[in-house]
Chain A
Amino acid sequence: MDNKTAAVKMRNITKTFGSVVANDKVWLDIYRGEILALLGENGSGKTTLMNMLSGIYFPDEGEISIDGKEVVIRSPKDAYDLGIGMVHQHFKLVDVLTATENVVLGLKEKGKLDLKAAAAKIRAICDQYGFEVDPDQKIYDMSVSQKQTVEIIKVLYRGADILILDEPTAVLTPQETDKLFAVLRNMRNDGKAIVIITHKMHEVEELSDRVAILRHGQFIGDMPTKSTNAQEMTNMMVGHAVTLNIDRPEPVDPKPRIEVKNLTVRSIDGVLKLDDVSFTANSGEILGIAGISGCGQKELLEAIAGLQPVESGSICYVEDNGEREELLGKDPLRIAEMGVALSFVPEDRLGMGLVANMDLADNMMLRSFRRGHSFFTDRKSPRKLAEAVVKELDVNTPGISTQVRKLSGGNVQKVLVGREISSAPTVLLTAYAVRGLDINSSYTIYDLINRQKAAGVAVIYVGEDLDVLLELADRILVLCGGKVSGIVEGRGAQKRDVGMMMTRLGGSKADE
């Protein structure tokens, strides 16, 4: 282990965007035959650093050397020529083409295009590392994990032996994650250098050989994974000690709040998205929703929020005094006018929950701008609310007149959640509330959700990290292909069982 030479040496790398210093004299070594986990909070400059290695950005200052030779990476092509390949968080594939066609796309090989030979080469790569993908399958037919596999193969096909993966497990089920990790270990044993960016501590501990930590664009330190632990790594990332336990207080006086009965939803193309879904969400309780992405979670929340046309079924809001009101067929405005205080933190924060080009204060107005009979908007109270949210949730922003698109992911989410809970809701719907958020921001969000629960709000929490769902939710509803696969108690539920229910209706019962 000790006599390995660094495949990549990054020295004194600095990159600024306007007045924002994304990377400040960063040093980083990447070794072959090793999996390096790059850790850091949102906005700490991990992705920027890796983008400079893969030729997307060009550093303002600093040197990069590959195998001891100083190099300059001007474009992704330069990076490929040096054997560096990056798998981005958002896939860059053409849907209507096959895996093979996507892999060879953009390659400038001499001679005629030979798809058969390319497919054979892809199969060879698959056999070597244990990928499961059909080179002739179209991308639109593929699951998220298969698409990711194609992205990885694309990089390997180009001869990369330094691989960078940006949050590869964010979209995968536990089973798919295990498969990916097996493949990554195979590649490591084959002598490739692998860098993985992730926020999930248990994955870091399970997979990586070494960790490197960035904070506020600066390099904090690196060490072998074996000689550290989640607590220490988190402290280094955040800069001070944090507790890593998620509270789960007992629900106080739970009463039915939202009753969903036989809900069936079809997409515009006529695809069945939700099939006969029934459940009850109680006040003072967190109902977790688990499922592979695209199993109807989005449609379920949007149907409750009045944004999704429904084929049949009913969604009833039950008031404290037992009065019931049907929410179906009403738009968000009508629901609010009925006096139902429903808050919704959608998955697409900047495309749906907020207006990216408006500042914090104007975004606070989105829910409340109609208030009052004046023809004009009230600009004062949103400013006050924005200031309060910035202060209470510790939003890192130059001011409340900053456009939200300029904030990092965690801060965007704090602004959105802060606005949604400011209206004292009785129902809080959240979709992937901590997706892409660092540990510190995630725990802030869990804490906010728990406070809402303590205040008697019925929380519906759609999550992707099963570990978190198992720790946070009082009950977990598992969706599988738009059907309810089962509802389990959060306390004492086993990760393996829930994982099974996600992939097969009824889970282990059908399996064994």
Chain B
Amino acid sequence: MNKQNQGPLVHIVKRGALPWYCAWGIRAAAIVLALLACALVTTLLTGEDPIQIYATMIKGAFGTTRKVWILFQNIAILLCVSLAVTPAFKMRFWNIGGEGQVLIGGLATAACMICLGDKLPNWLLICTMVAASIAAGAIWAVIPAIFKAKWNTNETLFTLMMNYVATQLVAFFVILWEVPKGAGKIGIINQSTEAGWLPQIGDYKYLLNILIVAALTILMYVYLNYSKHGYEIAVVGESERTARYVGIKVEKVIIRTMLLSGAVCGIAGLLLVGGTDHTITTTIANGRGFTAVMVSWLAKFNPIFMIFTSFLLVFLDRGASEISTVFGLNQSFADILTGIILFFIIGCEFFISYKISFRKSARKEGKANV
């Protein structure tokens, strides 16, 4: 049989819908494979025992009660930012300005705490902080939205640039408000009076944040899936022409959705500054505006799934920094492991939609005999 007569060695075939347990089986297999690949890389590069590395990762995330609280606090803030960018993404509006919107929300919170801390009763101060942070985040997000709606500018570049503006603004105010003069940072705001600090539930410093974000998750899920606004967002995202055809005002939906997106980012800033850190720095958002993009995509824009994807990313991050300290490894090594695991997780989606068929040599031979 000549060469021409052989079929391609592999070809890719689209699958029908897989039952959910198969799909999750593939995902689980991907994680196992990722861990094996990480183990191999670890042993080859560092000579450390991979089992110990994994144990350390888990210890880093869950080792003590404090660590568990920090884990959940980090999940809550990341999830909050992810919830914020999701409606925009569902509308195919690539808001990668979450970072800046969080920063500006945090800046507004800090401004209220510093300037009004001793002038208003605490409950009124907190109300002002909430309003100011939401408004600031919303304004930061709506500027690119207006430009997109009116002049069809590129929202990706615009929101990205707004991040830098926000960072510089924060840097400016940090110098303006620095305590003590010349320190280059603000320090804990209202440390003696605790004015404007969000109330603590019992002894649990992070519980309020976690509860607020849990409520937001449910609200966002309902908003996106059951409200008229959510439906409009989905239609605009899928096809602007269809939206216009049924009389949806696309410009209005873009602006409204970005106001919401920015507002939720503003809340994340409020929780960071008013709830936990009680200070502001240019790095307070810590790249979450970008990590949120990944959280949202991995969960296919479903707020409930985003709980798991944000858990995964925060767990990897916490675990990775633990191994870099315990084993004296470079932080980059932890990033390599995170990268490998994400590669497998994202890559396995391909095998859920497609299957790969190999050439059946038996069939060919059988036919040749006929």
Contact = CB atoms under 8 A, between A and B. Distances in A.
Q: Do A and B bind each other?
A: yes
Interface of A: 16-20, 58, 60-61, 63, 70-72, 74, 305-307, 331-334, 336, 344, 346, 348, 351-358, 362, 365-367, 369-370, 374-377, 379
Interface stretch (B5-13, B81-89, B264-272, B307-315): B5-13
Interface string B224-261: 00111111101100110110111111000000000000
Given A18-B17, A376-B227, 14 more contacts: A17-B14, A18-B14, A58-B7, A71-B4, A71-B5, A307-B245, A332-B244, A332-B247, A348-B241, A354-B242, A355-B234, A355-B235, A366-B235, A369-B232
A63 B366 CA distance: 13
B15 interface: yes
A351 B226 contact: no
Contacts of A357: 238
B181 interface: no
Contacts of B8: 58, 72, 74
Contacts of B357: 60
Given A365-B231, A375-B228, A377-B228, A351 B239 contact: yes
7 contacts: A61-B363, A307-B244, A331-B247, A332-B247, A333-B248, A348-B241, A376-B227
Given A71-B4, A332-B246, A355 B227 contact: no
Contacts of A17: 14, 16
Contact of A358 (B14, B228, B234, B249): B234
B246 A367 contact: yes
B18 to A, nearest CB: 9
B241 A352 contact: yes
A20 B16 contact: yes
Contacts of B11: 58
Interface string B29-65: 0000000000000000000000000000000000000
Nearest to A58: B11
Residue with the greatest number of chain B CB neighbours at <10 A, chosen from A61, A355, A357, A362: A355
Residue with the greatest number of chain B CB neighbours at <10 A, chosen from A306, A331, A365, A375: A375
A72 B6 CA distance: 6
Given A58-B11, A357-B238, A377-B231, A333 B226 contact: no
Contacts of A16: 13
Nearest to A71: B4
B218 to A, nearest CB: 14
A346 B245 contact: yes
Contact of A336 (B16, B247, B249): B247
A20 to B, nearest CB: 7
B367 interface: yes
A74 to B, nearest CB: 5
Contacts of A305: 245
A70 B238 contact: no
B239 to A, nearest CB: 6
A41 to B, nearest CB: 22
B245 A353 contact: yes
Nearest to A355: B238
A352 B242 contact: yes
Contacts of B242: 351-355, 366
A454 to B, nearest CB: 27
A403 to B, nearest CB: 10
Given A58-B8, A369-B231, A377 B246 contact: no
Contacts of B247: 306, 331-334, 336
A365 B363 CA distance: 49
A81 to B, nearest CB: 9
A370 B227 CA distance: 10
A377 B241 contact: no
A332 to B, nearest CB: 4
B239 A355 contact: yes
B2 to A, nearest CB: 10
Contact of A356 (B227, B234, B238): B238
Nearest to A348: B241
